[in-house]
């Protein structure tokens, strides 16, 4: 199963791979060279397909937990000052996604969307300290009965050229449901209340909509 954000790119890539393979078959006499080109094109197509995959998962709504928004590795767990929405201190948990991770973004909690904003910006590597402030990003805040306002931020990486965000203010959303997509590399920051009980560790691998980031 593939995410809808990848349909156009997958179709274009498929047409290009087929077209170039046919041209190589017609105009290149060297069997080794022709085979190498066709194999390289197939590998490229397979990489694109795996990037836009959207595997079927059995999500379990857990109202008193905060779930990871994305697949990846936990790279930050720290108390920080959040200036855009809260203007006070929060616990930040950041998950870095490599190009081979599933890049679907999911709501970490269910509730009402109270804030949703897109910021154009740079394309620094996702682990750069300034990426959360200077890169292209979106900020979404969901008001949840158990945790209050929970903020999560999609951050583009060096390869990402488009962030897709489906969240709209006043929209009621379900935990683990699809909130967007980041194309080609990125990270997601989640900002939690200071009294949240963090359930992950640095460098731990997590799955979007499955792994528990924090509990009450």
- Residue range 73-82, pLDDT digits in tens: 999 999 999 9
Choose between 160 and 44: higher pLDDT: 44
pLDDT tens profile 191-205 = 999 999 999 999 999
Tell me how many degrees the CA angle 14-15-19 measures, rounded to the nearest 5.
115
pLDDT at 6: 76
pLDDT averaged over every residue in the chain: 89
**Nearest residue to 98 (alpha-carbon basis) of 134, 132, 51:** 51
Q: Is the pLDDT assigned to residue 15 strictly greater than 70? A: yes
Q: Which of 66, 13, 68 is nearest to 41 (CA)?
A: 13
**What CATH number does the domain located at 65-215 have?**
2.70.70
Going by their DSSP bridges, the two strands 104-106 and 88-97 should be labelled as: unpaired
* 143-178 per-position pLDDT tens digit: 999 999 999 999 886 655 578 899 999 999 999 999
R_g of the chain computed on alpha carbons: 20
The more confidently predicted of residues 90 and 131 is 90
Q: CA torsion sign, 104 to 109 to 111 to 112?
A: negative
Instruction: Note if 179 is an active site residue.
Output: no
- Yes or no: say if 139 and 117 are a contact pair by the CB < 8 Å rule: yes
Q: Is the pLDDT of residue 125 over 90?
A: no
- Among 131, 179, 186, 211, which one carries the catalytic annotation? 186
User: How confident is residue 39, by pLDDT bands cut at 50, 70 and 90?
Assistant: very high
Q: State whether residue 196 is helix, strand or coil.
A: coil
pLDDT band at 71 (very low <50, low <70, confident <90, very high): very high
Tokens (6 digits) for 110: 């269910």
Residue 69 CA to residue 170 CA, distance in Å, equals 20
Please give the Cα distance from 65 to 196 (Å, whole number): 9
pLDDT band at 57 (very low <50, low <70, confident <90, very high): confident
CA–CA separation, 135 and 121 (whole Å): 4
Residue ranges per domain, the chain? Answer: 4-51, 65-215
Confidence of residue 61 (pLDDT cuts 50, 70, 90): confident
Question: What is residue 80's predicted lDDT score, i.e. its pLDDT?
Answer: 95
- What are 82-94's pLDDT values in tens digits? 999 999 999 999 9
> Sign of the CA dihedral 196, 199, 205, 208?
negative
Please report, for residues 13, 57, 62, 89, 115, the alpha-carbon distance to residue 104 in angstroms, rounded to integers and kept in the order given: 20, 12, 19, 28, 20
**What is the model's pLDDT at position 2?**
81
Q: Which two tokens stand for residue 51?
A: 């990037």
The pLDDT of 92-99, averaged and rounded, is 90
* CB contact at 8 A, 71 and 54: no
pTM: 0.82
pLDDT tens, position by position, 181-193: 887 668 899 999 9
What is the per-residue pLDDT for 136?
Answer: 85
* Phi, psi dihedral angles at 57 (to 5 degrees): -135, 150
């Amino acid at each position: 199963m593939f995410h809808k954000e990848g349909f156009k790119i997958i179709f274009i890539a498929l047409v290009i791979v087929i077209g170039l393979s046919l041209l190589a078959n017609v105009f290149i006499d060297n069997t080794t060279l022709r085979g190498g080109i066709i194999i390289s094109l197939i590998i490229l197509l397979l990489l694109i397909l795996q990037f836009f995959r959207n595997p079927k998962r059995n999500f379990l709504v857990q109202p008193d937990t905060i779930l990871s928004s994305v697949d990846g590795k936990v790279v930050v767990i720290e108390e920080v000052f959040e200036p855009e929405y809260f203007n006070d201190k929060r616990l930040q948990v950041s998950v870095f996604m490599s190009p081979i991770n599933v890049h679907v973004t999911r709501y970490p909690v269910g509730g009402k969307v109270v804030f949703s904003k897109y910021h154009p910006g740079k394309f620094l590597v996702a682990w750069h300290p300034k990426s959360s402030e200077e890169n292209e990003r979106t900020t979404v805040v969901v008001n949840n009965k158990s945790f209050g306002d929970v903020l999560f931020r999609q951050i583009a990486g060096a390869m990402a050229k488009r962030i897709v965000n489906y969240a709209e203010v006043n929209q009621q959303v379900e935990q683990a449901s699809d909130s967007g997509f980041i194309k080609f590399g990125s990270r997601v920051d989640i900002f939690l209340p200071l009294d949240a009980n963090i359930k992950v560790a640095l460098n731990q691998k997590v799955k979007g909509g499955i792994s528990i980031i924090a509990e009450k």
